[in-house]
Chains A and B, each alone.
Chain A
Amino acid sequence: MLKVENLYAGYGGAEVLNGVNLEVKQGTVVALIGANGAGKTTTMRAVSGMIKPSAGKVTLEGTEVEGYSASRIARLGLSHSPEGRKVFGPLTVEDNLLLGAYRQLPRFFGFKAKAQVELEKVYALFPRLKERRLQHAGTLSGGEQQMLAIGRALMAQPKVMLLDEPSMGLAPVIVQEVFATIRRLKEAGITLLLVEQFAKSALEVADYAYVMERGRIAVEGSPAELQKDERVLSAYLG
């Protein structure tokens, strides 16, 4: 579904990605783990179009999308829930969700009716969001904002979803909720690329995993293999 080949990208002077190769097969959850600064978020951004790769290929369901603008890649069926969540603060929870489905809804009127089914699905997944439908997103807590970001990404029924550091800045209890949600999505058959700094939780939910170090993939394999790999453990706690 999603293939990344020999990807190079960076910001200004620094080249952060030095030839990243990974693949996300349909219906699987793939984890991308690694120490901070390894380039995980940069990989996500280069894939979704937030930054333009300097070299390499990104293929989405057969179409080469590297170099396309972010909105174009999104319209091709890729949903990216970015690091830091980036919800639309001044808009209501419900508006945030509706905008998630932007690419499939009528632009002027009638969008609410058309989005109803997906909206209800998201509310079923996150009842707390339903409670706060008319609240401004900026006033939600960190955990609620993360739920909203995930829900927003789901609204467009994406072919591939990118979830970037969903646990960042959240209390451990909330983090558990987030991963429970991911598990439920997995059961529903989602195709997901998950970037996480919490290697243990990520490995528990993934079908396959890549470990990044200094801008390239250092190790890859099934979670069972990686959990026994000493290199993985040492990459985190020195």
Chain B
Amino acid sequence: MKIIPASDSSILVEFGDKIAPEIQDLVLSLFHALRAVDDSRICNLHPGYASLLIDFDPLTLSHNELTALVESLASSKLTAAADRSSVVTIPVCYDSEFGPDLADVSAHTGLSADEVVGLHSSATYRVCFLGFTGGFAYLGGMPEALQTPRLATPRRAVSAGSVGIAGGQTGIYPTETPGGWRLIGRTPVRMFDPQAQLPTRVQAGDIVKFAPIDRAEFDRLQQARR
């Protein structure tokens, strides 16, 4: 573990420099331990692949004091992050209407569209962390055979719920934003609801599975959401 100041109001706690489940466990363990401390001088926690950024109020908490707190939490046995994770199944319609780049992914990977869908929906993913925008989950665990580079020119608008692939990553756009990931399907499930008590459908550490659904089921679930 390495602690470095990231600004006058934050420290970055680094646990390694690779994407690995055991490193993510450490990141999420410290994240949960700090959440449990519930210190109002700590303003924000940003888990990443292998690090945790901690924003704090420098008028009431010093870098040294926070560093000491992090070290003491890390030296005691941190609770395993896996204890808190839930398994979340996300229904996805992989119809070509929702997956305009499925053909590109097929061409790039040499797999048929059915094989792409089969592989994508049979893998088990882990939410490494949420970032970029509200509710956007960085998922680990996509089969390597599905790796496809992102679009050369990002789309100006990607519909909420779109499921995409970018390099070795896969994820779901929670809100309509510009984006350059290759789109292969869409979920009718709402991934981000700012008014809800728990605004995001998935949390860091959760296990995610995709369940293929047809267009009729997509419409039914979208209708039920309203």
Q: Do A and B come from one complex?
A: no
